[in-house]
Chain A
Amino acid sequence: MDQSAPAAGDTALRTALAQADLVLGGTGPVLSHLLAAPNGTMISEAIVARVRGMLTSLALQIFGNPDKLSNINEIERLSDELARNEGVLRFCHALAFEAELTESLERGRGIDQILSPLMQELIASPTSEIAELAMQAMTAQSRFVQSQRRMEASVHELPAELFSTVLKMWKAIGQDDQAEAVKKVRSKAKKDYDEGAGRAGLLNRLVSSLGEGRLAALDISHAGVAVFATALSAKTSQPRDLAVLSCHKDQRIRLAIGLRAAGLDEAAIRSQFQTLHKDVELACDLAAMLPDQAQSILNDSDLRWSR
């Protein structure tokens, strides 16, 4: 007894220390990643800040009533909970990256964040329904740009599955004495939700209305980032998040394969790369890859994120 007790404590200590070692060991790569080129990496301080801001704003909107001090703990708890959900993180990360990309393309290439040439054409469409849809999409896009400047995200922009998950997380956090109130707010939130009326939904519907004209949307300087990413996602059946992230420098091979799968020829793809990554050489033989082949490579990729 006297001998076994210290031995057991010893093992526990060793395990705990090993875990601490792991944490310390992990800081190196994370730090060096963050210290690398300030704007060039997938995860930068700016992205982390944006994602954190978005998580808090999502939690705030769900509770709906930030004046009540008693709610603040719960808001923090929900925001922590959200940060542990892979789907939510991925969604926020893609939004943060899209916002950064949209801003940097406006600065560097003069591509309007809200009103691209294609959007202007669509708003002037002789088909009034398309014109109206384009107007709604433009409004949603301008709200997106605004909210990203404040590092916020709207719960109504979440895809339905995530929206549903977030509501469930909130329910799990809620205290029993508030169950009735929570139920009420939940059912109202559900009622107000309409995937087709959010920015992604409107962009999807707009791109879908282009029919075969979707090819025109696959030119980033003509269509703007938002429409471009939506068209790429629709044309290649990738989740929009993935289509957005494929515009990152480190994901350029995904973009090349995606654009080829969408039916762009080599010259058109090179011109997209010229816009997005001016100084980076694309090291693959695009002409040799047939669109069907490209699509099948894409379909086989491990990262077929479900929505």
Chain B
Amino acid sequence: MERNATLLAARGLTDEQDRLLSADGLLADLHERCGGRIPGTLAVPELLDLVRQGREMGLRLAREFHSFDGEQNISGFVRVHPLPADAGGGCELLVENWRSSPLSADIQSNAAARLDAIDRSSAEINIRLDREQRVQLLLALPDDAKQLDDMLSEKPGVRWTDLIQLVGVAHQQPLHWRLLDGAQCKVPGSERDWRTRLMPLGSSPEAPVGFELLLISDQPLGVEHVHQGEDIDPPQHAQMIGSALTPALRQPVARIIANAETIRSKLAGPIRQEYSEYAGNIASAGQHLTAMLEDLGDLEVVEAPGFSTIRERVDLGDVARRAGGILGVRAQARNITLNLPEPGDKRVAAAEFRRVLQILINLIGNAIAYSPEGSTVEVFLVPADPDQVAIEVRDQGDGVDDEQAGRIFEKFERLGREDDTGSGLGLYISRRLANAMDGELELVSSAGEGARFRLTLPAMD
């Protein structure tokens, strides 16, 4: 364990392509505010540079970094520890002395000017309005603005709000222009979601002589749906609350975690130890919520009618070593020894790499969580039918009795655990994933021994 517990504000883990695989509250929050997702390429520019540098040189770096989270300047001291190839080949990030400071008024107005410039250059529809917000001139680039153009030629001088439907603005127009700046809207004839920018023209913003109206869409034209993350396909059929709520909940929960972490690590000033511990509880509850949200998102993916996986060459030994590398820190924290397949052990399956990794992370993660401290978790390749390959994860925990064994793969099954860890979805999702790859995930231990799970997959011919 890192000794500088209170100086240490956040940890993160990247892979060999500098994608952030996991991160603590503050770092995860900054990464997401910089436009990143987990897992996804590290989005904090200076950190990305350092991680890349450290990984390429294979050297441990320690540098100060600066960033901007959209509201505040963030700075801190980061230590980048490259990991060996068998532990994922990425880097571990340890951020110390996290500081956030508000922008000075001067820089704030600069930042606002920069945002305006970005919006101007990325707007696809430019409209000039008179002081009554009636359209004078339309300059539209994209094809899906054709209908808007036609409507205007029929009714010149119409108020823009009569053409463009504002989302979430229920009042009758006209409203003060400031209330319309930044609103979400629908453009007739366009499938995309748009955002307005309304900028007053003239010397005084209080009495504008006209406006420049920009319509900006974050979705490019001709792309059916935008990928939400680099690794997570959005479900085609929304069946549960998850798909609608997960993205919406992710950010506020991340904020809760980040703020609780700030309080816990006393970044804003000294507080009593008890309060710091309460904040720690809030943060861990928040992290639990985040994990549940991820599980719910996964659940929908695997339950969608069209869900399928791809077939590629996957070396089970390699995947197991990577999963072990990712969970190494967690195992160390509980003083658990991870026995992973030797680098020479090869068993090639026809499956989807990241799904197999997901299953093994789930199995090994469970094994670490439910084994006694100081015990050993073993991951080993086992013999299987000629056209199959198999791997087992075995722990030295209390194991699973016959009655529990019948239910362990059921949805939301937590086997009577009272603690607040786990959503009860992990094994269910893992088995669905295994089945989708024409494989099987089963419990092979008997009562009285530690839990033993076996993942069987079709062999690559």
Contacts and interface: CB of A to CB of B under 8 A. Distances in A.
A164 B57 contact: yes
A211 B7 CA distance: 11
A208 B59 contact: no
Interface stretch (B60-68, B237-245, B363-371): B60-68
B375 interface: no
Best-buried of B58, B60, B79 by chain A (most CB within 10 Å): B60
B96 interface: yes
B372 interface: no
Given A132-B3, A132-B4, A204-B64, A160 B54 contact: yes
Contacts of B59: 160, 163-164, 190, 193, 195
A161 B60 CA distance: 11
B97 interface: yes
B99 A211 contact: yes
Q: How large is the interface on B (under 10, 10 to 19, 20 to 34, 35 or more residues)?
A: 20 to 34
A115 interface: no
B64 A133 contact: no
Contacts of B64: 204, 208, 234
Interface in B1-39: 3-7
Best-buried of A160, A164, A204 by chain B (most CB within 10 Å): A160
B26 to A, nearest CB: 15
A193 B58 CA distance: 9
A218 B317 CA distance: 54
Grouping DSSP codes into helix (H, G, I), strand (E, B) and loop, the A interface class, with mixed when no group exceeds half, is: helix
B53 interface: yes
B77 A208 contact: yes
Interface in A118-162: 127, 129-130, 132-133, 160-161
Interface string A182-199: 000001001001111100
Best-buried of B6, B59, B63, B97 by chain A (most CB within 10 Å): B59
B60 A205 contact: no
B57 to A, nearest CB: 4
A209 B57 contact: no
B7 A130 contact: yes
A161 B62 CA distance: 12
Given A129-B5, A194-B62, A208-B76, A160 B57 contact: yes
Contacts of A132: 3-4
A101 B62 CA distance: 26
Interface string A215-234: 00000000000000000001
Contacts of A196: 60-62, 79
A161 B76 CA distance: 21
A278 B92 CA distance: 47
A201 B79 CA distance: 10
B4 A133 contact: yes
Contacts of B58: 187, 190
Nearest to A132: B3
B62 A209 contact: no
B269 to A, nearest CB: 11
A36 to B, nearest CB: 37
17 contacts: A129-B6, A132-B3, A132-B4, A161-B53, A163-B57, A193-B59, A193-B60, A194-B60, A195-B59, A195-B61, A195-B63, A195-B79, A196-B61, A201-B62, A204-B77, A205-B62, A209-B96
Interface of A: 127, 129-130, 132-133, 160-161, 163-164, 187, 190, 193-197, 201, 204-205, 208-209, 211, 234
Given A190-B59, A197-B62, A211-B97, 10 more contacts: A127-B6, A160-B54, A160-B61, A161-B57, A163-B59, A195-B63, A196-B61, A205-B97, A209-B77, A209-B97
